[in-house]
Amino acid sequence: MFVVCGEALYDLFAAEGSEGLSFDARIGGSPFNVAVGLARLNQDAALLTGISLDRLGHRLLSALERETVSTGLLRRKEAPTTLSLVDLGPDGTPIYTFYGTGAADSCLMPDDLPTLNADVWGLHFGSYSLVVEPTGGSLLGLARREARRRLITLDPNVRLNVEPDLDTWRTRIDAFAACADLVKVSEEDLYLLYQGEDPERVARRWLDAGAALVIVSAGAKGAIALTDARRVSVPADDVRVVDTVGAGDAFQAALIAALAECGCKTRDAVTELEESTLRTLLCFAASAAAVTCGRRGANLPHRVELKNIAKESF
């Protein structure tokens, strides 16, 4: 099983109409999406987060159950559900405004952290759960506890409208990256964090700090994978973009699923990936992201929608 750690919320897509402003509410949150994405790709997945006891929290729980994501690690909280107002730019890029101060997914305490069973082979961390407290500090403790014992993946997924201080993000991301075996980061996030610095230079710094693999996704420009010994790039799939909400989460879920499908469930296995395998992983993840870009919201693909991974690549 793969455990995804972080937020769960509702995205509210705003629309102006003749009768005023209306909202289309969709379940979301980057870690929530990754957990669902893994389940849709036929991987056993669990979500570790705080879930509100309110009606929206009940709906989040029901959605996880429908998607066959394990709910055994959820921590129910007497706190509200985070809401995220989503507007779309002309190119379909989402613009978020968060309403989540004191919300359930921000209230994960050290005492909420579980003892993990032997069948848990990896953990994923990312997005604003890295920096909001007490959740951020609690999850960092979990990452440090499990580092080099299980495969750890990280996607910063920076949200400056939740935490505007860049130094806070940089410090916390570096702390998680030191625990991670695989870091996937968007070019957009790297620009926010390290304006003017070469993305590959930042990636190399995380490799030097201990990561085995760093992947930089660049939307329509494709993605690159970097290890100590290799650099592999692939183009993005052609797609008519409806919006890009959830595309990075689809990419992340597909990366983890592809590693599982080729038996790469340990740090050593990731370290030993050959160039052809890295290319296969990137292409599979890019295809998952393209499917998500072609439809509204964070509607991640099912396994049947993606090509089979060529076993001869491994």
Q: Give the model's pLDDT for residue 170.
A: 96
Q: Give the model's pLDDT for residue 151.
A: 98
Q: Give the model's pLDDT for residue 146.
A: 98
Question: Could you say which residues of the chain have pLDDT below 70?
Answer: 92, 310-314
Q: Give the model's pLDDT for residue 86.
A: 78
Query: Which tokens go with 174?
Result: 């570096």
CA-CA distance, 266 to 263, in Å (whole number)?
9
CA-CA distance, 252 to 246, in Å (whole number)?
10
Q: Each residue of 223-252: pLDDT tens digit?
A: 999 999 889 999 888 888 888 888 999 999
**CATH of region 2-7+30-80+102-313, choose from 3.40.1280.10, 3.40.1190.20, 3.40.50.300, 3.40.190.10:** 3.40.1190.20
Q: Give, to the nearest 10 degrees, the angle between helix 166-177 and helix 199-209.
A: 50
CA-CA distance, 238 to 279, in Å (whole number)?
17
Sign of the CA dihedral with 282 first, then 27, 168, and 161 last: positive
Please, are residues 298 and 246 in contact by the beta-carbon 8 Å criterion? yes
Q: Each residue of 177-232: pLDDT tens digit?
A: 999 999 999 999 999 999 889 999 999 999 999 999 999 998 888 899 999 988 99
Q: What is the CA radius of gyration of the chain?
A: 18
Q: Give the model's pLDDT for residue 269.
A: 95
Of the chain, the percentage scoring pLDDT greater than 70 comes to 98
